[in-house]
Amino acid sequence: MDNDLFWLFTLNVKPGKFDEFKRLVSDVVAATRKEPGTLAYQYAANEDQTIVHIYERYRDSEAFVTHVEQAFAEYAERFLSLVSVESLIVYGVPNAQARKALDTFNATYMTLFDGFSRA
């Protein structure tokens, strides 16, 4: 659990693009589901479908880097054409390679100091 990483993206969906975005997300989720190091990968939208949160949790930094380089890579350009990233809050301590990828979204890093997580 010490290497466990998780975060919350807040995305703004471009006007009229939610249905297209939702179809793309279905493909991204299907690809990501095959990654053993991805522990959670969930999307949620507000009522008017203009804001989306993505909760992602990875076994460790290497699992996240694998996700970026393999499952997400083929969808990234189209994905980012449909949304803008409002914020990214990261929990845990990503390694330098993971942090480099997260920094492209102006991540805010939060250091865990107490609590627990059940598998």
Query: Which parts of the chain sit beneath pLDDT 70?
Result: 1-2, 119
The answer to whether residues 30 and 41 touch, using CB atoms and an 8 Å cutoff, is no
Q: Which CATH number fits domain 5-110: 3.40.50.1000, 3.40.50.720, 3.30.70.100, 3.40.228.10?
A: 3.30.70.100
Residues 62-91 have pLDDT tens digits of 999 999 999 899 999 999 999 999 999 999
The answer to whether residues 70 and 99 touch, using CB atoms and an 8 Å cutoff, is no
Structure tokens at 118: 């059940």
